[in-house]
Structure 1
């Protein structure tokens, strides 16, 4: 696979222009020169091969070559609302969620939450989303939403709605998941959701699910949950 660069701006006069950071990465880190071909993606699902036609100080222009490249997106839209774990474990969670094909991560505030990621923390994590997408081949950026309170999040009524629970159903007993559908998964903090929070989720129509016999860490549950959801996605007959 060609080296990939993020270029959200549309072409001007038929040429794509990399921003300063991406241009420096192209020329100074990757040592690419005029005439070489790389891959560009816009973060909205479009990707193309492009030939470098001009480089300068903190600037580069490229011309698309051939047809748009096929996407590498997941079979259904997976949204995971999760309490943020401590330290760099949330960074790891975001990185692996991108690699797993998750469409959106919503940081949750729950009764046992210990981390409330906002402001500069979220902006830094959004840069992680871009860098991970470059590495794993995704052309649509995972959305990292602002934090939301669990009570508010549970009011969502569309799509397949799952809540992680050590006493929940294993994947073979989950509701059917159709290709192209929206699936929402709630993952609680260390120590889990309180009994009251779990009861509210059940009353609101969310299905309690689990991914293994063992108790999983927050970030492990996110990755295992995404994998289980996508493995169950089936075409509608």
Structure 2
């Protein structure tokens, strides 16, 4: 198997050239599903930057051992750390949002329960969903070539989260239909080192929720003349942010 086609696995372990190690249960199962054999090549990354060449040395019934090769200094991340804070869409749409946002370079996802939310999670059910979405982010990072895995934060109510994020140094914007400026224009006015993008669930944010966001320092922005679905709007924003952040300086 050539390095070009070697599968990529996320292994949250200390990695060093020449080390021999056993893969954690998650990537070990992945390697077994792929039917890798001793001598096969793979690529590992631990989320700390870059990636590692590796070779399978042993395939057990429930364990996989590998030998690490060289570390490759590669960076496929956006130069701007973007957090998507979203009123969780219902059904499987949140899975799709997390997967695609990861592919597009999001740094973190904050699931929110809002006044108009259809999907309402709390307690153990919320914890299980977050763990599932984190797994979706890991798989999407492996597939897309990312060297870092976006964090999926615990589910919060919108008002709880706004109270905490108000003091963060990141630029903060909220998707709005009133008195909003285009997101692209807001970014071109001065690209920040980090950005928090807030959008609502199906039906959008309630007026009082949007006002609370504005009072906490969120600037109202628009994505254009059309109304986008709850799972589409954050991705459209991420595409615009990525285009601005990676555009050559003139």
Q: So what's the TM-score if we normalise by structure 2?
A: 0.85
Aligned to 2:95: 91
Whole-angstrom distance in 2 between the partners of 1:24 and 1:198: 44
Find the partner of 2:111 among 107, 111, 115.
Answer: 107
Which runs of 5 or more residues in structure 1 are unaligned? Answer: none
Question: Which residue of 191, 198, 206 corresponds with 1:178?
Answer: 191
Partner of 2:29: 24
Does structure 1 conserve the Cα–Cα contact (< 8 Å) formed by 2:53 and 2:68?
A: yes
Maintained 8 Å contact 2:214/2:220: yes
From 25, 32, 42, the equivalent of 1:38 is 42
Q: Distance in 2 between matches of 1:224 and 1:113?
A: 20
The aligned residue for residue 135 of structure 2 is 127
Q: Do 1:107 and 1:148's aligned partners in 2 also have CA atoms closer than 8 Å?
A: yes
Query: CA RMSD for the aligned pairs?
Result: 2.3
SS in 2 for 1:219: coil
Q: Distance in 2 between matches of 1:122 and 1:98?
A: 15
Which residue of structure 2 aligns with residue 204 of structure 1?
216
Retained in 2: the 8 A contact 1:177–1:229? no
User: In structure 2, how many angstroms separate the alpha carbons of the residues matched to 1:160 and 1:21?
Assistant: 35
1:162 to 173, 188, 193: 173
The 8 Å contact of residues 7 and 17 in structure 1, kept in 2 or not, is answered as no
Q: Distance in 1 between matches of 2:88 and 2:208?
A: 20
How many equivalent residue pairs?
Answer: 235
**Contact 2:184/2:240 (<8 A) preserved:** no
TM-score by length of 1: 0.89
Give the CA deviation at 1:8: 1.2
Task: Select between 80-89 and 147-156 the one with higher mean Cα deviation.
Answer: 147-156
Cα drift, residue 236 of structure 1: 9.0
Gaps (5+ residues) in structure 2?
Answer: none
* 2:230 match: 218
Match in the other structure for 1:5: 9
Name the CA shift for 1:188/1:65 in 2 (closer, same or farther; >3 Å). same
| Alignment check: 8 A CA contact 1:73 1:138 kept | yes
Q: Would you say 1:146 and 2:157 are equivalent positions?
A: no
Instruction: Give 1:37-56 correspondences, 5 Å limit.
Output: 37-56=41-60
**Does the CA-based 8 Å contact 2:43-2:52 persist in structure 1?**
yes
Q: CA deviation at 1:11?
A: 4.7
